[in-house]
Amino acid sequence: DVYFRMTKQNKCPRFVFKRRLITRKEQPDKWLYLQCLDDIRMGYLPLDDHEKVSNLAALATIYANDGNNPESVAELKAMGLKKYIADRNLSQKSIDEFGEICIALIRSGRIPTDKDKIQEMYVNLCKQMPVYGMNYFYARHAASDKNYVISVDVNGIHVLDPQRTKVNRSFGFESVRKFGATSEYFWMNIDEPKTKQPKSKFQFLSSNTGINVLLYTLQSWEMYDCVYDATHYF
């Protein structure tokens, strides 16, 4: 049933373990490093700054090779550079071009060889991204038949731009009175803000059913889990 419904929406099913909610205050460790590494490789943390992409790729490659510094682009490629760069970035620049930037960074001494320092630098670079720590959900507004990228983190629920590079609107959890989910949608009842703030509420997602926010998504229960964890454990 899941495969059938996702195929109808032209989405490729991919089963993953439940993602943990993380904050920017968490100290870098191996688990957090591996989570950030996977998010970068899969494109969940989109990045178009080619020097930063190269910086992260060089760190990951040296980490995987026990701190050994390559002497050339060919050696760097043989060490597995390509698998640490997202496909979207490889469509913008060739692996050799990224390799040249990486080698320049390594020769400048900006890339450490100590694995603990690599973990710390890699995670701290990821923390600079606006969508760090967010879990993504793809939702449809029934009335307008428009699709949205929604994200959940410890601070609230956010509407992202289609490229997932910036937050367009945010809604904090402090005003959420009730929330729930069915197999088809996630819903919330929210309190009106005391002051009139433009775009402080998902007005474009409101319904006339007594539910303030109604998001149709195949990921409704996963979204419920994230919101529950964020509102009960943080």
What does the pLDDT look like over 51-89, one tens digit per residue? 999 999 999 999 999 999 999 999 999 999 999 999 999
CA distance 94 to 85: 11
What pLDDT shows up at residue 176?
A: 81
CA distance 201 to 188: 12
Low-confidence ranges of the chain (pLDDT < 70): 1-20, 142-144, 192-212
Q: Which residues, listed in sequence order, are joined to residue 158 by a DSSP beta bridge?
A: 151, 170
CA distance 115 to 67: 7
Which residue, among 190, 195, 186, 188, has the nearest Cα to 215 in the 3D structure?
186
Q: How many CB atoms lie within 10 A of CB 91?
A: 8
What pLDDT shows up at residue 10?
A: 65
